[in-house]
Amino acid sequence: MSRGFQIRATPVTILGHLLFIAIATLVLVWLLRFREGVAFNSSEKAKILNLHPLLMVIGFILVGGEAIMAYKSIPGTRRTAKVVHLLLHVIALASGVLGIITVFKFKKETGLPNMYTLHSWLGMSAICSFGLQYIFSFFAYFFPGAEVSTRATLLPWHRFIGIAIFLLAVGTAETGLLEYFQFLGLFRSQEALIVNFTGLLLFLFAASVSLSVILPRKYY
């Protein structure tokens, strides 16, 4: 049998984990050093808004990406990987919902209108699609679980839709970073470099996660 793949998923997932650390570090440095921190309740409304990218980038996208890579990076049985996959997606969904609540709270307290930008529309589409995908997949693959033949038939669609939603979330984050960039006037500054590098690394993280799904864990 000829080897259909010459690259294993393992080095790609390792790259994904390293990008996770790099992106999380950049986001924390950006929000804590340059944006004066985060808060859910504060007289400084900017801190409430700062909580939104923290939850959406680290909680929703990065943790969600780790959940996708779990089947290729978690040692042990497939059952173990499935449980990790499920739990990480719970964290990602909770972070995404809280991130949406946070931005609505900020806009209500500052008198700004809701859902008037492309970023808002993409973000709401991503979180709603993620929630529906999670509910359907939970009942199909975890409890009570469909027939084996049915799960096998649904699996390619489960993977495709999951990656599509993940890429939608990353695209939404990129537009959100652009909005921050333009709104705050981050031109030719150290903060601008951090925001730009964050956007670039998010793209690389998305590529790593997507590739990890395609590549096998072992050589064929």
On whether the pTM is more than 0.85, the answer is yes
pLDDT at 86: 94
From the list 3, 23, 2, the residue with the least C-alpha distance to 208 is 23
Tell me the H-state helices in the chain: 9-29, 45-53, 63-73, 78-110, 118-137, 148-184, 190-214
Hey, what are 162's tokens? Answer: 């999951």
If we measure between CA atoms, which residue out of 217, 207, 208 comes closest to residue 72?
217
Of 205, 204, 182, which Cα lies nearest the Cα of 195? 182
pLDDT tens digits along 42-80 = 999 989 999 999 999 999 999 999 999 999 988 878 889
**pLDDT exceeds cutoff 50 at 1:** no
Distance CA 144, CA 180 (A): 43
Domain 9-214, CATH: 1.20.120.1770
Distance of alpha carbon 91 from alpha carbon 135, whole angstroms: 14
Q: Which pLDDT band, with edges at 50, 70 and 90, does 216 fall under?
A: confident
Looking at residue 47, what is its pLDDT? 94
pLDDT value for 191: 85
Examine the pLDDT at 188 and tell me if it is beyond 70: no
Q: What pLDDT is attached to residue 21?
A: 98
- pLDDT of 182 reads 76
pLDDT, residue 192, reads 86
Q: How far apart are CA 214 and CA 68, in angstroms?
A: 11
- Residue owning tokens 């909005």: 179
Mean pLDDT within 85-98? 97
Closest CA to 27 of 63, 76, 80: 63
Mean of pLDDT over the chain: 91
Of residues 181 and 172, more confidently modeled: 172
Tokens for 124?
């709401």
pLDDT digits (tens, 9 = 90+) for 96-154: 999 999 999 999 999 999 999 999 999 999 999 999 999 999 999 888 877 888 888 99
What's the rounded mean pLDDT across residues 3-7? 58
Contact (CB, 8 A) for 85 and 60: no
Task: Provide the token pair at 99.
Answer: 């991130």
DSSP 85-135: HHHHHHHHHHHHHHHHHHHHHHHHHHTPPSS-SHHHHHHHHHHHHHHHHHH
As a whole number of angstroms, the distance between CA 216 and CA 6 comes to: 10
The domain segmentation of the chain, as residue ranges, is 9-214
